[in-house]
Chain A
Amino acid sequence: NAGVMQNPRHLVRRRGQEARLRCSPVKGHSHVYWYRQLPEEGLKFMVYLQKENIIDESGMPKERFSAEFPKEGPSILRIQQVVRGDSAAYFCASSPDNNYGYTFGSGTRLTVV
C-alpha cells in the first residue's frame, strides 16, 4: 500500500490525557502536513514538516500541541492534556516536494470524553 498511513483510526481519550497521532507518509515523500477538521468545518492547516524540521507551525495552538517528523519513523502529532474542544478528525498529508500534490491519509478521529 503506497498511501499515507495514519493510526489509530479512532482514538478516545479522557480529559487531561495525552493523545499521540501517527502518520507514515508515502514512501519517498519528505514533506508532511497536518490538518484538523472540526465538526461542520473545513480543513484547517496546523503544521508543515520536513524530515527533522518544522517548516511552518503557524496553524498549531501555542500550547499543548507539538509535532515532529524524525529522521526515522512516522510523523507524530502530540496533544497533551486534551480537552473536549480537541475532538476532531486529524488528517495527515504528504508530498514529494512542496508542489501541492498532496496525498491524504484516512485520518484519526479523536474523541475526548
Chain B
Amino acid sequence: DQQVKQNSPSLSVQEGRISILNCDYTNSMFDYFLWYKKYPAEGPTFLISISSIKDKNEDGRFTVFLNKSAKHLSLHIVPSQPGDSAVYFCAASGERALNFGKGTSLLVTP
C-alpha cells in the first residue's frame, strides 16, 4: 500500500532551468513532509521540509509547495545545476516513521 507516490521515475532538465519534482499522498493524516536527496552508494540526505500548516517553504534554490486539498506537493529547484543530479525522495510523516515514495531520478544536463 503505497501512501506516498512519485509517479515520474525520471526527469531530465537543462542546467539553469527549473526542475519540478512531484509527489502525491493518500493519507490525510500526514502532517509533515520532507524531501531527501540521494546520490549513488550513499544514504539519503535531508533537503527541505514543510509542515501541513504551511503551503510553501523556501531554502535558497529549493522551494517546496504543498496543496493539502489535492494531497500534492512539489519540489522546485531553480536554477538547476549539474550537481543536483540525484534521486529525490518525497517522504511523509506516518504514525511512527516516515513513509517514502519510490523516488525520482533527476538529471541536469549542461
Contact = CB atoms under 8 A, between A and B. Distances in A.
Q: Do A and B bind each other?
A: yes
Interface of A: 4, 6, 33, 35, 40-45, 48, 55-56, 58, 91, 93, 98, 100-107
A91 to B, nearest CB: 6
A91 B43 contact: yes
Interface of B: 4, 6, 32, 34, 36, 41-46, 49, 89, 91, 93-103
B43 A42 contact: no
A93 B34 CA distance: 15
Nearest to A9: B41
A48 B96 CA distance: 8
Contacts of A48: 96-97
A60 B103 CA distance: 21
A43 B97 contact: no
Contact of A101 (B41, B46, B96, B100): B46
Contact of B98 (A58, A102, A103, A105): A102
Nearest to A45: B97
Contact of B96 (A55, A104, A105, A107): A55
A45 B44 contact: no
Contacts of A55: 96
B40 to A, nearest CB: 11
A9 B26 CA distance: 34
Given A100-B32, A100-B93, A45 B45 contact: no
